Amino acid sequence: MPRWLSMYAFAAAQAAQKLERMTPSQIQAFAAAQAAQK
């Protein structure tokens, strides 16, 4: 696995842990921020 891909997977795992502790409104705001970056 390329190093950048493993770093991305690690970041995704951390984001998933944060999402588990978020309220639905926080998740919506997070999703909106992610969409705005694209």
12-35: per-residue pLDDT in tens?
Answer: 888 888 878 878 888 788 888 888
**pLDDT of the residue at 28:** 86
Give 1's pLDDT tier (boundaries 50, 70, 90): low
Domain, as residue range, for 17:
3-37
Rg (CA), the chain: 12
**pLDDT of the residue at 18:** 83
Structure tokens at 26: 């926080």
Q: Does residue 11 surpass a pLDDT of 80?
A: yes
Give how many domains the chain has, as a whole number: 1
Give strand ranges (E) for the chain.
none
Collect all residues with Cβ–Cβ distance below 8 Å to 27 and sequence separation of at least 6. Answer: 19
**pLDDT of the residue at 31:** 84
Cα angle, residue 15 at apex, residues 36 and 32 outer, rounded to 5°: 20
Dist. CA 38–CA 26, nearest whole Å: 19
